[in-house]
Amino acid sequence: MTPNLLGLFCVGFDGLTVPDALRPLLAQGLGGVILFKRNLEDLEQILRLTADIRAAAPGPLLIGVDQEGGRVTRLPAPFLAPPPAARIGARGDAVLAQALARAVGRELRAAGINWNLAPVLDVHTNPANPVIGDRAYGTDPETVTRFGLAVIAGLAEAGVLATAKHFPGHGDTRLDSHHDLPESLQSPERWRSVEFAPFRAAIRAGVPTVMVAHLSCPALDSTAPSSLSRRILTGILRTELGFGGVVVSDDLEMGGITTRTDVGEAAVRFLEAGGDLLLVCQDPTRQHAALEAVGAALRSGRLPVRTIDAALERLARCHRLFPGRHRPAATDADARSLIGSAEHREILGKILGA
């Protein structure tokens, strides 16, 4: 039986409604969709959108969003707008951080969103870093680990999948991987003692998905970016650190990839390296090109069927987490009272020191 390659893809789209071109992909078993500010206008529109996405899909589907907090907050009021991770870490209260993550997760579930692409587990060791900064919980692995685990636990309590990102660690870079390929020059010993530490702990705690960054890490692999490296995805993340869950690519349309290879070739190499879910967030033409490239690699034998089947099985296990996660956790009426509720605002106020 030919495997369902669409199940390996998570895509973005433009607009406030489901595009006609996306509907057949959903009907044929697309793995997921990711929502951005361009898709999210107000609560009523969001409820309609997620309901329409689910209705177009025959089976389990990831509906994801980057609701980290701070400058990476996608959902509009009345949804909670958490502060930057650095402020949460500085507050020093992991129990409160877990409560806030649980509240954020409850609001996501009520709105029909079952996957939060958070927390950031990068250790912010380079003050010149243009992309991480206050998205990190701290400048040492202990702080990042403590608060990252609290957020993962809080989201799980709400029935929302968490994602540990950006493996192997984006904290000591000077370039933004949205535009170019950052270089991270740590020694192997430094990688293992600092950058890997929060991810190691998150894996032990059962985080279901890990996102891989587009980085040049010569001490780990001098020949391939981290997101396309078998040494890093299979050798380190899966074998050394023991991660058996879903490996997600960062957006394959980012400059860290597209300045060096086309999206189709990158998609094939990511799967060859040991990845599972391909994130292609912007351009439908590139999304179809990536799907065609993966199909061609499967037909030619470059991608063995067993590789695809293993990725789809890991995704299937992920879909089976949190029974009922593929339906909203509340009726629309309940969602309106839950989202931005006084209880949730009180938790946020405590974090903010109000």
To the query of whether residue 122 is one of the catalytic residues in this protein, the response is: no
pTM value is: 0.96
Please tell me which residue in 176, 178, 179, 332 is annotated as part of the active site: 178
Q: Which domain holds residue 89?
A: 5-352
Please tell me which residue in 172, 221, 250, 251 is annotated as part of the active site: 250
To the query of whether residue 250 is one of the catalytic residues in this protein, the response is: yes
pLDDT (0 to 100) of residue 19: 97
Count of domains observed in the chain: 1
Query: 115 forms bridges with which residues in the sheet?
Result: 64, 161
User: Cβ neighbours of residue 199 under 8 Å, at least 6 residues apart?
Assistant: 121, 164, 167, 168, 169, 210, 237, 241
The pLDDT tens digits for 35-82 are: 999 999 999 999 999 999 999 998 899 999 999 999 999 999 999 999
The pLDDT tens digits for 110-154 are: 999 999 999 999 999 999 998 999 999 999 999 999 999 999 999
Q: At 346, which CATH number? A: 3.20.20.300
Q: How far is CA 20 from CA 1, 5, 53, 292, in A?
A: 28, 20, 11, 20
